[in-house]
Structure formats: C-alpha cells, structure tokens
C-alpha cells in the first residue's frame, strides 16, 4: 500500500531566504506524524505546500500516490486533491465564514464533492456533526455564538466532509483552553479509531505531540535536525536543539537558565 503522503527533498525559497531546506518524510496509511519546531522552523510552510496554498521551489510531494508538486490545473483536479488531504487551521475565529452555520458549511463541502440529493446530504451532515460532538443548537447557529473549541469542531467536521486520507492539523489545538484542548485531542483520537485517517500534526507543544503521534521530525530554521518515534525522540533527544526544546518545557523543579547573560554597560 503506498504511503498516504510522501515528501522528497522539499525546498522553499523566498528570495534569498531559505524557509524549507531539503525536507523528506513519509506517512503510512493510518499513521500519524508530527513536525515540531518554533517560529521560523518552516513547519507551517511545509504544511501549506502540501495543501497547495504555497508552491514548492524544489522537491516532490505526493499524496495517495498522486503527485502534487505543482499547482492543480483544473477545478476537478483541485477537488480531487481536496479528497486526499485536508487541513484544520490554528485560529478558530477566522477559519469559518462568519455568515454560515456549521450545517451550511459542511453541506457546501458535500455539494462540492458529490452530486447527492438533499436528503442524503442532510443525513451525512448530521452524521459528521454528531461525530465531532456538535448538538442540534450548535449546528445551526452562526460561528459568533460558538466558543473556540466548538468552532474547531466545526472546522474538523468540515474538513472530514471531504473524506480525506490525511488531515493536517496546523497548531489546531494551540489556541484552545487546556480543558477544551483535552476534549478535542480525545475527539481526534476517536476519529482516527473510527476512520483510520492519518494525521500530520504541526505543533510547538511537545506534550500534545506525544499524545497524538507516533513519529516526529524536529525542525530548526528550515532543516530537519532529528527524527524518529515520538517517545524515543522526546525521552532521549540526541540533537542539541531537541534537547534545548525538551529542557524548555516547564515542569516541577524547572530552573530556566539564561543562554544570553547580562551584557556589560558602556561598550
């Protein structure tokens, strides 16, 4: 069975700046991989190139065996790609059209991909809304009446409506309260159990990465510095940057140390 996602020697340049430098990885069917890094690491750029919102400068991307290194030519090709890879963005407040309820948003996606009768669409909308835990009221109201966590559920349901093989979660739980984050992480695990979907998790939060994925790659300034099974990399980091990331996570007894000490005055 081919990998659901394969990325080879991916590169992105913005003028002189190399945002992504020779990145390769693959995600198998049903597997979940995390890309960990801080700002400037290139992790979000990689996600945007895979989903088609940015164009790679070099390298290849293929999903479900189909190459997607260059922009799609036709509308039907774009729809086809939409059925392979989908994305949930970080900010629940701008990732939904403020004028459309969850029902309308999910229904629209169904109409884009299928020529179904309204009854069949309605049934599927109800199914998806139920899957992500939205009740009757929450399905029908505008996003401004929903909390951040509820909006993310809508965004997840909308992404799943296309029945993708792989879902990119671009810091999708980072803006959520801790108690809500836990609910959404559990939901994502449940969805994976039910559908066998793969996740590509983009995150700076190592604990979330540990909870949701079994493979991880660590990025710094555009390059991969370490990769491996999530547990192994986090328990026993090899690369100095990974160690630094691990050390920077607050925990009982944590003593943050300065890397740049106080500078003398009058230089």
Partner 1 sequence: MTTLSFTKTSRFTKAPARLGKAGTAAAVVVAIAVFAAIFGPWLAPGNPDLPDLQIAWVGPAAGHLLGFDFEGRDVLSRLLAGAQSAMLGPLAVVVLAMAGGTAFALISAWRRGATDAVISSGMDVLFAFPGILLAVLAATVFGAGLVAAAVALSIAYLPYVARVLRAAALKERNQPYVQALEVQGASVPRICLTHILPNMSRMIVAQATVLFGYAMVDLAAISFLGLGVQPPAANWGVMISENEPGILQGYPLPALAAAACVVFVVIAVNVLGERLLEGEGHR
Partner 2 sequence: MTNLLEVAGLRVTLGAGTVLRGVDFAIRPGEALGLVGESGSGKSMTARAIGRLLPRGARSEGTIAFDGADVNKLDGKGLRSYRGQVAMVFQDPRAHINPVRRIGDFMTEALRTNGGVRKADAYELAAGMLGQVGLDTGNLAKYPHQLSGGMLQRVMIAAALLTSPRLLLADEPTTALDVTTQAEVMAILAELRRDFGLALLFITHDLELAAAVCDRTAVMYAGQVVEIRDSALLHEDPLHPYTAALAAARPDIGRTQARLRAIPGRPLSGFEAPGHACAFAPRCAHDAPGCYAELPALAGLDGGLSRCLRAAQLRGTLGVTAGA
Residues at the interface with partner 2 (CB under 8 A) = 38-39, 147-149, 177-183, 185-186, 189, 204, 206-208, 210-211, 230-231, 234-235, 244-254, 256-267
| Closer residue to partner 1, CB minimum distance, 87 or 185 | 87
Q: Does 45 bind partner 1 (CB under 8 A)?
A: no
Q: Which two tokens stand for residue 110?
A: 């169904």
- Rounded to an integer, what distance in angstroms lies between the CA atom of residue 114 and that of residue 203? 33
Supply the Cα-derived Rg of the chain in whole angstroms.
20
DSSP state of 34: E
Please state the closest distance from residue 203 (CB atom) to partner 2, in A: 11
Q: How far is CA 211 from CA 21, 115, 214, in A?
A: 28, 38, 8
Q: Does 100 bind partner 1 (CB under 8 A)?
A: yes
- CA angle, residues 246, 249, 254, in degrees to nearest 5: 110
Q: Does 56 bind partner 1 (CB under 8 A)?
A: no
Q: Does 12 bind partner 1 (CB under 8 A)?
A: no
228 Rama class: left (phi>0) / alpha (psi -120 to 50) / beta:
left
- CA angle, residues 103, 189, 211, in degrees to nearest 5: 130
- Rounded to an integer, what distance in angstroms lies between the CA atom of residue 185 and that of residue 211? 8
* Residue 113 interacts with which of partner 2, partner 1, none, CB < 5 to 8 Å by class: partner 1
> Which residues contact residue 209 at a Cβ distance below 8 angstroms, ignoring those fewer than 6 apart?
34, 36, 201, 203, 216, 230, 234
- Rounded to an integer, what distance in angstroms lies between the CA atom of residue 185 and that of residue 208? 8
Please state the closest distance from residue 102 (CB atom) to partner 2, in A: 16
Q: Does 96 bind partner 1 (CB under 8 A)?
A: yes
| Closer residue to partner 2, CB minimum distance, 98 or 256 | 256
Q: Do 128 and 106 form a contact (C-beta atoms < 8 A)?
A: yes
Stretch that binds partner 1, among 30-38, 133-141, 195-203, 223-231 (CB under 8 A): 133-141
Please state the closest distance from residue 138 (CB atom) to partner 1, in A: 12
| Closer residue to partner 2, CB minimum distance, 129 or 209 | 209
Q: Does 78 bind partner 1 (CB under 8 A)?
A: yes
* Residue 117 interacts with which of partner 1, partner 2, none, CB < 5 to 8 Å by class: none
Please state the closest distance from residue 78 (CB atom) to partner 1, in A: 4
- Residues that bind partner 1 in the complex, under the rule CB under 8 A: 51-53, 75-76, 78-83, 85-87, 89, 91, 93-101, 103-104, 107-109, 112-113, 118, 122, 125-126, 136, 139-140, 142, 144, 155, 158-159, 162
């Amino acid at each position: 069975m081919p990998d659901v996602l394969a990325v080879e020697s991916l590169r992105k340049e913005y003028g002189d700046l190399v945002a992504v430098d020779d990145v390769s990885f693959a995600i198998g069917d049903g597997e979940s991989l995390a890309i960990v890094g801080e700002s400037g690491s290139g992790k979000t750029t990689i996600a945007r190139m895979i989903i088609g919102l940015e164009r790679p400068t070099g390298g290849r991307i293929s999903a479900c065996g189909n190459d997607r290194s260059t922009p799609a030519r036709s509308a039907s090709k774009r729809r086809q790609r939409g059925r392979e890879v989908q994305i949930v963005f970080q900010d629940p407040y701008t990732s939904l059209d403020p004028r459309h309820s969850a029902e309308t948003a999910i229904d629209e996606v169904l109409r884009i991909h299928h020529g179904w009768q309204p009854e069949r669409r309605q049934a599927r909308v109800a199914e998806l809304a139920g899957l992500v835990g939205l009740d009757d009221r929450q399905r029908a109201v505008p996003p401004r009446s929903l909390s951040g966590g509820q909006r993310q559920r809508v965004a997840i349901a909308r992404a799943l409506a296309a029945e993708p093989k792989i879902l990119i979660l671009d810091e999708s739980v980072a803006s959520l309260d801790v108690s809500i984050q836990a609910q959404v992480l559990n939901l994502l695990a449940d969805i994976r159990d039910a559908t066998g979907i793969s996740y590509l998790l983009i995150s700076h939060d190592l604990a979330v990465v540990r909870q949701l994925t079994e493979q991880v790659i660590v990025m710094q300034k555009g390059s991969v510095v370490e990769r491996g099974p999530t547990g192994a990399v986090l328990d026993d980091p090899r690369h100095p940057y990974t160690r630094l990331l691990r050390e920077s996570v607050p925990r009982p007894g944590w003593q943050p140390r300065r890397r740049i000490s106080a500078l003398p005055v009058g230089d």
